[in-house]
Each structure stands twice: as C-alpha cells, then as structure tokens.
Amino acid sequence: MALRPVLQFPDKRLREVSQPIAAVDDAIRELARDMCDVMYDEPGIGLAAPQVGEQMRLIVVDTEWTEEGAEPNPLILVNPVITESNGTLQWTEGCLSVPDFEAEVERAERVHLEAEDLDGNAVEIEAEGLQAVCFQHEIDHLDGILYIDHISRLKRNRYAEKRKKQLRRELEED
C-alpha cells in the first residue's frame, strides 16, 4: 500500500484553514492510521491532516518515538485546541512540509490542550517543552500557518527562493 504523500511548501493547500470534524467515523480512523504510518515513515514526531491533503482538524503526535527503536505510541487528537499557554522558549524547528530547512522559533513553553480521541472521549493534556512545541506546530498547520511564518521575513524569503530554485531543477531533471 502506498503512503500518502506529504504536501510541501509552497503548495497552496498548506495555507487553507481546516474544518472541524463533526463526528469520528471509520474514514477518520483510517485517515488517522494512514497519518501515523506517514509520520513514522518520513520520519517525524507530528503530522497534521492538511499535510496529507485533508482539510480537517486532526493531528497525530509522538514525541517519545525515535528511529532507534522506541515503541510507537501516537497521540491522535481530533479538533485540538490550545486553551492556555505560558512561558516562552526558543526551539529549533523543522517540518516535513518545509524540506531542508530548520529555524529558531519562539513558542509557549507550556500549553493546555483540549481535544477528543477517536472514540469521542474528551482529552486534556498539560504539555511542556518538546510536546508543547509539537502541539503548537501541528495546530498551526490546521490554521494554514507554517513554522516559517514565525521567523523573519528575510529568512523566510531566502528559504522560498531556495525552494523555488530546487523545484525548478527537479522539473528540469524530469
């Protein structure tokens, strides 16, 4: 079975605001399983539905997993919302949708997240550090925001130009 491709900058679908999920059904559960497969295959520690072309408010996160063999234990969160945040930190972020680039981003140090699981149960998580950053990053995707929107315009424009050249070269090679 082929994995869903991860959309990459500058794909315009990454800029769309995702719709809330009214009810979890088998199609949503299958999408969540597919997203986990993609996340681990890439590899990454988080993935939002818009990154695989689905404009709905669904994220998968596993900040404990490593390629070195930790057991996958994904958090699958439906309609996640950060209801509280405090503190600030600088974190070097990367993104499966923003290839070949990392940058320092200012984020909240601690967040309170509310969501539902795939069974419709309410989920509340107090997160800090990497997990807090990951939640903020993935929820940004649901709102059409990329982490590069949090860096200086100069750095963002340099990346965009580099990416355009890279895509042109790839087209010429085909």
- Could you tell me the domains of the chain? 12-173 (3.90.45.10)
**Helix or strand (DSSP H, E) at 166:** helix 153-173
pTM of the model: 0.94
Residue type at 139? Answer: I
C-alpha torsion angle, residues 73, 74, 78, 80 (rounded to 10): 100
**Helix or strand (DSSP H, E) at 101:** strand 98-116
Q: Point out the residues that are catalytic.
A: 138
Please, which residues bridge with residue 112 across strands?
84, 126
**Digits of tens for pLDDT over the chain (174 positions)?**
678 999 999 999 999 999 999 999 999 999 999 999 999 999 999 999 999 999 999 999 999 876 676 788 999 999 999 999 999 999 999 999 999 999 999 999 999 999 999 999 999 999 999 999 999 999 999 999 999 999 999 999 999 999 999 999 988 987
Beta-carbon count within 10 A of 65 CB: 19
Beta-carbon count within 10 A of 117 CB: 14
Please, which residues bridge with residue 91 across strands?
105
Alpha carbons 7 and 10: distance in angstroms, whole number: 9
Degrees to nearest 5, angle at CA 14 with 135 and 8: 100
Half-sphere exposure for 4 (CA within 13 Å, toward CB): 24
Degrees to nearest 5, angle at CA 51 with 46 and 55: 115
